[in-house]
Amino acid sequence: MPDVLERDPRFAPRTLLDERPGRRTLLDQIERLEGELSSLFVSTWPRKGFDFSVPSRGGPRMLLLSELEALRDDLAERVDHARRSLSDRTYVEERHRARIEEMLLEPERHKWVRIGNDDIGEPGCKHWHVRPRWGLLGYLMNWWRVRISSGCPLVRGRGPWPRPVTASGRA
């Protein structure tokens, strides 16, 4: 029987026995990196601007050891990039939150500054805007205040506004 295995390559084992521990170790590392990447995705949602996609490696098949190593290295690089960009984004958002607090305490030092919800990593249309209190008079007298918007505007259709109906029934 060993003679048949040596002569015919169709019967040779495809995975060598000494590859299995290395393959198992690589698969465990890939699983851990995919878990970290998914937890980073969950922690950044609903923010935009992050890329968490993992491209396909040519469909369902058993990857070679070298392909597993390349996949692991690619995932490690993606996790590192996602961590750094999330850290940078978090730092910027914290700076914007601190600036909002400063604006509320001393609006005259932050003239015309406008910070929105997307700048602090929250969904919605709300924004903080430092403006003069009474228009031109407030501008000349250096009276400033922080105006906080009420949120998103109402959704309106594309067409013109409907004409109001009068008591006679005509527009």
Query: Tokens 């003069």 — which residue?
Result: 132
Query: Tokens 């597993």 — which residue?
Result: 68
- How far apart are alpha carbons 105 and 164 in whole angstroms? 45
pLDDT at 8 over 70: no
Q: What is the pLDDT of residues 143-155, one digit of tens each?
A: 899 998 877 776 6
Query: Tokens 């001393």 — which residue?
Result: 106
Contact status, residue 74 vs residue 33, Cβ threshold 8 Å: no
Q: What is the pLDDT of residues 34-83, one digit of tens each?
A: 999 999 888 887 777 777 777 777 778 888 888 999 999 999 999 999 89
Distances (CA, A) of 145 to 48, 85, 99, 138, 148: 31, 34, 14, 9, 10
pLDDT at 26 over 90: yes
> At what angle are helices 65-105 and 20-44 packed, to 10 degrees?
20
Per the prediction, the chain carries an average pLDDT of 82
Concatenated DSSP letters of 54-76: ---SSSSSPPPHHHHHHHHHHHH
Number of H helices, E strands in the chain: 4, 3
pLDDT at 12 over 70: no
Q: What is the pLDDT of residues 83-102, one digit of tens each?
A: 998 899 899 999 999 999 99
- How far apart are alpha carbons 157 and 9 in whole angstroms? 70
Contact status, residue 131 vs residue 145, Cβ threshold 8 Å: yes
Instruction: Output the pTM of the full model.
Output: 0.63
Using alpha carbons, select from 119, 135, 116, 138 the residue that is nearest to residue 127: 116
Contact status, residue 101 vs residue 95, Cβ threshold 8 Å: no
